[in-house]
């Protein structure tokens, strides 16, 4: 009778076939169950938001998303101002932060010496760990007074009196022009501009960290080939590094956009909580997330509560749409269609 081979370091013991199959099936079932939890959470969230939003959608229909008036006293609810505020703050902050983030990533990965790259990279990542309330307090007590002083100087300048009078007449009618949109409407320092500024600082580390890691993954052969052809450092970056890393950088941009769309506490502290349609970049405004934070606890009427939850439903749908669009774009930009 042949005895089984004795296990050695170069020939480990094998499990019996039946036990191996059972282990594979058990592991497969466990992975499937854990993956199903994500789908279950998504479906339950969508179902609950849709159920709670139904009274408002049944009452106002799709006009809820285009109506400008939000008045809990009269029972009129329209989300146009909040949707516009969300898009303006998020996209403007993204446009300001992406060049800074990519520039800082290039500096850390390509230009900075090793003794400096480490601390600078850690400092950028540290910005992502700061709580939202700290950003909000910093904006209120440090940045807002600086903006307020500048706005006061604008108001007292005799050359601006005629322009201010014209813009104030338009604002009273809830109208504006491109010139008046950039004219200060108050001297408090708070408002849409401060919310954009604070969002820019908050989302910058997300794009910067991802972009830095992706740039470092560019093969060294690709850089050396460009240098061998006599290319300058800028030509290497623009023609070899950034085209190779663009899909990863875009992924970081979308991650930052998702953070900007859903940011609540810091924005709610500085934006001013006005549900009127935007007439000035420096005036008070609101986003969908800030209205949810400010009014959800005080919404006693069924219609008011349902309208606030409908804002959350719209924000949920907008986030899903952004992520889907980002995946499609990244797939197109990735070489060979690798997902």
Query: With bands split at pLDDT 50, 70 and 90, how would you rate the model's confidence at 336?
Result: very low
- In the chain, the percentage of residues whose pLDDT exceeds 90 is 11
Question: What is the separation of C-alpha 106 from the centre of its chain, rounded to a whole number of angstroms?
Answer: 22
pLDDT for position 76: 87
The CA radius of gyration of the chain, in Å to the nearest whole number, is 27
| Distance separating alpha carbons of residues 294 and 108, to the nearest angstrom | 40
Of 14 and 134, more confident: 134
pLDDT at 4 over 80: no
SS3 label, residue 286 = coil
pLDDT, residue 100, reads 92
What was the pLDDT predicted at 217? 86
pLDDT at 242 over 70: yes
3-state DSSP call for residue 117? helix
Runs of H (alpha helix) within 61-191? 80-106, 114-129, 132-138, 144-156, 161-172, 178-181
161-178 residues labelled b (16+ CB within 10 A) or e (exposed): eeebeebeebbeeeebee
Count Cβ atoms below 10 Å from residue 283 Cβ, excluding itself: 23
**What is the average pLDDT across 199-214?**
90
**Least confident stretch, 4-18, 116-130, 218-232:** 4-18
What confidence tens digit (pLDDT) does each residue in 85-124 have? 899 999 999 999 999 999 999 998 888 888 888 888 888 8
Distance CA 321, CA 318 (A): 5
Answer yes or no: is pLDDT of 339 > 50.
Answer: no
Judge contact between 312 and 293, C-beta under 8 A: no
Is 81:277 a contact under the CB 8 Å cutoff?
yes
Least Cα distance to 94 among 11, 203, 235 occurs for 203
Torsion (CA) 10, 13, 19, 23 in degrees, nearest 10: -40
* C-alpha span between 154 and 244 (Å, rounded): 46
* Cβ contact 90:199 at 8 Å: yes
Asked whether residue 334 carries a pLDDT value surpassing 70, the answer given is: no
Give the DSSP letter string of 261-273: HH--HHHHHHSB-
Q: Do 93 and 101 meet the contact criterion of CB atoms below 8 Å apart? A: no
C-alpha angle 325-326-327 in degrees, rounded to nearest 5: 90
**In this predicted structure, what is the pLDDT of residue 197?**
92
Q: How many residues are there in the chain?
A: 339
pLDDT at 40: 92
Give the residue, 7 or 187, on which the prediction is more confident: 187
Average pLDDT estimate for 231-260: 86
Place of tokens 């609950």: 48
β-pairing, 70-71 with 76-77?
Answer: antiparallel
pLDDT band at 14; cut points 50, 70, 90? low
Give the sign of the dihedral formed by CA 162, CA 165, CA 168, CA 173. Answer: negative
Joined together, the tokens standing for residue 228 give 């061998």
HSE value, Cβ hemisphere, 13 Å, CA-based, for 16? 3
Q: Which residue has the higher pLDDT, 7 or 54?
A: 54
**Can you give the pTM of this predicted structure?**
0.83
pLDDT tens digits, 140-150: 899 988 888 88
Tokens 């995946």 label which residue? 327
What is the arithmetic mean of pLDDT over 318-328? Answer: 80
């Amino acid at each position: 009778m042949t005895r089984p081979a004795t296990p050695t370091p170069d020939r480990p013991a094998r499990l019996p076939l039946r036990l191996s199959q059972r282990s594979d099936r058990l592991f497969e079932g466990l992975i499937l169950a854990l993956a199903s939890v994500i789908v279950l959470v998504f479906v339950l969230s969508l179902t609950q938001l849709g159920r709670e939003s139904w009274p408002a959608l049944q009452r106002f229909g799709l006009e809820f998303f285009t109506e400008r008036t939000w008045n809990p006293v009269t029972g009129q609810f329209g989300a146009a101002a909040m949707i516009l505020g969300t898009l303006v703050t998020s996209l403007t902050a993204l446009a300001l932060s992406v060049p800074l983030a990519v520039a800082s990533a290039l500096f850390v990965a390509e230009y900075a010496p090793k003794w400096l790259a480490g601390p600078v990279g850690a400092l950028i990542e540290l910005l992502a760990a700061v709580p939202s309330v700290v950003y909000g307090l910093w904006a209120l007590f440090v940045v807002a007074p600086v903006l307020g002083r500048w706005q006061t100087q604008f108001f007292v300048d005799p050359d601006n009196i005629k322009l201010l009078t014209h813009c104030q007449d338009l604002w009273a009618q809830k109208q504006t022009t491109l010139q008046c949109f950039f004219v200060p409407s108050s001297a408090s320092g708070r408002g849409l501009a401060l919310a954009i500024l604070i969002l820019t600082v908050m989302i910058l580390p997300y794009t910067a960290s991802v972009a830095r890691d992706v740039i470092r993954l560019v093969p060294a052969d690709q850089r050396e080939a460009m240098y061998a052809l006599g290319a300058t450092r800028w030509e290497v970056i623009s023609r070899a590094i950034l085209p190779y890393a663009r899909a990863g950088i875009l992924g970081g941009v979308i991650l930052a956009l998702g953070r900007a769309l859903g940011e609540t506490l810091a924005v709610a502290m500085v934006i001013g909580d006005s549900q009127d349609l935007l007439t000035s970049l420096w005036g008070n405004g609101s986003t969908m997330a800030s209205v949810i934070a400010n009014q959800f606890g005080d919404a006693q009427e069924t219609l008011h509560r349902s309208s606030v939850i409908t804002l959350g439903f719209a924000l949920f749908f907008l986030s899903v749409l952004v992520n889907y669009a980002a995946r499609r774009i990244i797939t197109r930009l990735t070489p060979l269609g690798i997902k």
